Structure 1
Amino acid sequence: MSAETLTATGGVRTALRERPARSASERAAARHRVVGFSMALPPVVLIALFVGLPVLLSIGFSFGMTGGLNSTAAAIGQNVYEADGLVTLDAYAQLFADVRFGRDLGATVFVTLVTTVVTLALAIGIAVILRLRGGWTGAVLSGIGIVPLFIPVVIASWAILTFYSGDGFVRSVFAQFGLDAPVFGFTITGVVIASVWVNLPFALLMSTSGMQAVPDALIDAARDAGASTLAIIRSVLVPMAGIPLVIAATFTAIGVLGQFTVPYFTGPNAPQQLGVDISKYFQSFNQPQQAAAIAVVVFVIASGVAALYVWANFRSAKQEGRV
């Protein structure tokens, strides 16, 4: 038998000997994948059934799909529009034709923008103090900023309302000195104050974690180059903590867009935020289709905010060469 034949035969035998080991590892990996998929499947199914399906039904109902599981709500609801063809926009047309809805939409966007900006400004300010100076001032500010995390929203909203109401603590203290304090209870300003209080802890945690991750070498290099504190904040700390800040802004904006408790307790009767409008249209007016349409409007706005977050993450990953 030639040397080439022996070599080929030996190679085949070697391959046959190695194949079972490789097949066993592949089977083990397949079992691990099946186990992992089986563990992840139950929560995914629960979310799909109890969150995803109702959301899809509600979106379809807002566009006039009144059959199937939406038939009961369509039968008992007022001013329900049924699609002649695929969909109908009559429910949305009714909403946007109402001056009150436009006013409430404007108030919601205004509260969201102001709350997000003020919350980020406070969080960045406290995080900068902790990063550059520390000491008891930073510890006190960070402690105060985390306090709202342990106070229920209902209690905080009621406390803020009574604190700034016409007969509340602030007015009483000012009255002792013959002064007339402003009333923020049942106003948009009161909603902004309460919203900042509720959303500050998360924004502060994200801002602090992002700035604490900035290397000391970068800050020292900027100082050696003659950069002022403001320049260090603007050119080093904030850009390096960009992703955590974007996350904080995104979650703050989305949370304020759909909030109910804060504007319900502290806000005026008109204008109201869309979260309160959804409850009002569904319970008080018995117009579930219009309530679903308002929810879709909130979802579209929130999706726009989330798109900014996705874009920021993609841009960061592209700059780092990860995509």
Structure 2
Amino acid sequence: MSREVALEESFVIKKKTKLAMLGIGLVMPSFLTLLVLVIYPVALAIMESFQNEEDVFSLENYIYIFTEPLILQNIQHTLIVTFVSCILTLGISYILAIYLNFSKSIVAKIINKLYFIPLFIPGVIAIYGFINFYRDNGWVSRIIGADNMPSIIYDMKGLLMINVWFNIPFTTMLILSALQAIPHSVIESAKDAGATKIRLFLHFILPLSYKTMLVALTFLFMGLIGSFTAPFLVDRNAPQMLGVSMQQHFSVYNEIGQSSALAVFMFLLCSIVGYVYIHNNMKESKKDMF
């Protein structure tokens, strides 16, 4: 009897070992990709950010980015553009998603088929068209007159416009999927109970779509704070977004340590946003458990 039990235990152990090896084999390609494309570059950037020109450990690069007036202006400019772009994009996308979800009009149906088109337009081409449209001698200037044309290209207003235009389709798609997941019976029951549109939004629609809004905000922040193409082509020369400033320190001034310090700083900002998102999800998971 003991021999049969031992054989059965041995069979179970072998089976568990095979399953464990299979799991490791399935996870390993993703882990290696993450290691090569994310973990190694981040570790290298952190190491280089603490080295001076003689490759000796030093805080010179961080002292530079937090004391140099131009870099401080770049940080301020980046945060302002990122936060304003996020607020505008999230607000417009939420309103558009609500309209598309609850409206049955022909206009809503047409917009629902067309709003994601910017996702399929290459960024450089879209920016080139944007510049030709809004520059001083562009199409808008010819229509309304050069004297009436506000400064858009090589100005923060133009960067905000192109950021919103790029990110509305994806953000709207996320929020619309959350709104479509809300049971119609909940909305209809609230209406039958006499709930106004404002109460319906505050007590039902917003709480049920809050998690998706947080996901959209996280993606928006991380995508905008390190953006390069649009700020490089549309934004002013000074102050600059941190992505452009980092590229210039690396390729123009050959200051690898300073550019690595800027990269680490942007990574920390994204990590804070990621932590807020993960912490909120963990709190919601604990609530669901209890």
Find out whether 1:34 has 2:57 as its counterpart: no
Deviations 1:180-231 (CA, angstroms, capped at 9, x unpaired): 1223111111111111122222211110111111111221122122222232
Kept in 2, the 8 Å contact 1:108–1:257? The answer is yes
Residue of structure 2 aligned with 1:300, choices 264, 268, 271: 268
Find out whether 1:314 has 2:278 as its counterpart: no
Residue of structure 2 aligned with 1:205, choices 136, 153, 173: 173
TM superposition shift of 1:81: 6.3
Decide whether aligned partners of structure 1 residues 315 and 50 sit closer, same or farther in structure 2, where only a CA change above 3 A counts. Answer: closer
- For residue 116 of structure 2, give the secondary structure of its aligned residue in structure 1: helix
Find out whether 1:44 has 2:31 as its counterpart: yes
Find out whether 1:261 has 2:198 as its counterpart: no
Q: What fraction of aligned residue pairs are identical, expressed as a percent?
A: 27
Decide whether aligned partners of structure 1 residues 308 and 156 sit closer, same or farther in structure 2, where only a CA change above 3 A counts. Answer: same
Residue of structure 2 aligned with 1:61, choices 48, 54, 60: 48
Give the letter aligned to residue 136 of structure 1: I
Aligned partners of 2:55, 2:5: CA distance in 1, in Å? 66
Give the letter aligned to residue 153 of structure 2: G
Kept in 2, the 8 Å contact 1:126–1:142? The answer is no
Partner of 2:160: 192
TM superposition shift of 1:16: 5.2
Kept in 2, the 8 Å contact 1:281–1:291? The answer is yes
TM superposition shift of 1:144: 3.6
- For residue 279 of structure 2, give the secondary structure of its aligned residue in structure 1: helix
Kept in 2, the 8 Å contact 1:187–1:266? The answer is yes
Aligned partners of 2:109, 2:116: CA distance in 1, in Å? 11
Partner of 1:235: 203
Residue of structure 1 aligned with 2:254, choices 277, 282, 286: 286
Higher mean displacement: 193-202 or 19-28: 19-28
Decide whether aligned partners of structure 1 residues 144 and 107 sit closer, same or farther in structure 2, where only a CA change above 3 A counts. Answer: farther
Find out whether 1:150 has 2:120 as its counterpart: yes
TM superposition shift of 1:147: 1.1
- For residue 137 of structure 2, give the secondary structure of its aligned residue in structure 1: coil
Deviations 1:258-282 (CA, angstroms, capped at 9, x unpaired): 0001101111111110000011111
- For residue 320 of structure 1, give the secondary structure of its aligned residue in structure 2: helix
Tell me the TM-score normalised to structure 1 length: 0.83
> Higher Cα Rg: structure 1 or 2?
1
Deviations 1:73-108 (CA, angstroms, capped at 9, x unpaired): xxxxxxx3654xxx4221111222221111111111
Deviations 1:9-31 (CA, angstroms, capped at 9, x unpaired): xxxx3x75466456434433321
Give the letter aligned to residue 25 of structure 2: S
Gap regions ≥5 residues in structure 2: none
Aligned partners of 1:23, 1:123: CA distance in 2, in Å? 58
**How many residues get paired?**
290
Aligned partners of 2:122, 2:7: CA distance in 1, in Å? 60
Aligned partners of 1:130, 1:30: CA distance in 2, in Å? 51
Within 5 Å, which residues of 2 pair with 1:53-202? 53-64=40-51, 80=53, 82-83=55-56, 87-175=57-145, 180-202=148-170
Give the letter aligned to residue 51 of structure 1: V
Gap regions ≥5 residues in structure 1: 1-12, 67-79
Higher RCO, Cα 8 Å, sep 6+: 2
Find out whether 1:223 has 2:191 as its counterpart: yes
TM superposition shift of 1:150: 0.3
TM superposition shift of 1:310: 0.9
Aligned partners of 1:305, 1:239: CA distance in 2, in Å? 20
Give the letter aligned to residue 60 of structure 1: M
Higher mean displacement: 134-143 or 150-159: 134-143
Aligned partners of 2:80, 2:112: CA distance in 1, in Å? 27
